[in-house]
Amino acid sequence: MSVIDTLFTGRAAPLARDGYPPVASGIVKTAQSSPLWLSRNGLAGDEQGDAVYHGGPEKAVHHYAAEHYAWWQSCHHDSPVALVAGAFGENVSTHGMTEANVHIGDIYRAGTAIVQVSQGRQPCWKLNRLLRTDGAALAMQMSGATGWYYRVLQEGWLAPGDRFDLLERPCPGWPLRRLIAALFPVDPQAPGLAQEWQEAAAIDALTANWRATFARRVQTGALEDWSRRLVEPAHHTATPRQPTRN
């Protein structure tokens, strides 16, 4: 059991960086003290700047473990941005739940809502822009401290101080730490990795996109090119999409 320390939401707004055009993003979020309605698309008042890659029913809520911030602070003590709860654009911050003890497919009652762990986070270059540090997204990815997303099985109210009570664990052999290590392997040639991919591709509770990625790797034996996601393009000319509103 864990309780919500802080809830965060944010409207989509231009995210700037010197020398680059601004891009629409909802990664900058503000702590909320009142109960918020959690719908199948996310918390009331929360937005995403790019509805193709962020948000939606399978990534309605992002949860990040407060335990990770001590590591970030020790490794990035000269960060120009305070590395405290909310710094990574998460919606929920708690103590007591991490990738080591949360499993894919876990079903929790939180407030009056019921949510299910759907996938881990795949950090992108907008995190670099937010933290003003090239390589922040890659560091998060390789650390395994990515946080995770929920799909909403029952809509309801969520508030700071509400508990996360585990109702069901359909995949006891798949803590998120194992799943994330399979997606972002330190050694792509490690023995047994192909078997991990094959097993992960068969996890019903996992999002379709992640299952497809693992299945494709089983067929090709190769990892994807992550550079487009992790490295900010030198010339960003795309027109920002309209933000989604929950």
How many helices and strands in the chain, by DSSP H and E? Answer: 7, 15
CB 146 within 8 A of CB 122: yes
- Angle at which helix 193-200 crosses helix 176-183, to 10 degrees, equals 120
Q: What is the pLDDT of residue 81?
A: 84
Q: What are phi and psi of 127, to 5 degrees?
A: -65, -40
CA–CA separation, 186 and 147 (whole Å) = 18
Q: What is the pLDDT of residue 48?
A: 83
Per-residue pLDDT of the chain (246 residues; tens, 9 = 90+): 799 999 999 998 898 887 778 888 888 899 999 999 999 999 999 988 776 667 899 999 999 999 999 999 998 888 888 889 999 999 999 999 999 999 999 999 999 999 999 999 999 999 999 888 889 999 999 999 999 999 999 999 999 999 999 999 999 999 999 999 999 999 999 999 999 999 999 999 999 999 999 999 999 999 999 999 999 887 444 433 333 333
Domains of the chain: 2-172 (2.40.33.20)
Question: Considering only CA atoms, which of 235, 240, 243, 199 is closest in space to residue 20?
Answer: 235
Question: What pTM was estimated for this model as a whole?
Answer: 0.91
**In this structure, which long-range contacts are made by residues 16-19, counting pairs with CB atoms below 8 Å and at least 24 apart in sequence?**
16/129, 17/129, 17/132, 17/232
Q: What is the pLDDT of residue 52?
A: 67
- Angle at which helix 208-220 crosses helix 193-200, to 10 degrees, equals 140
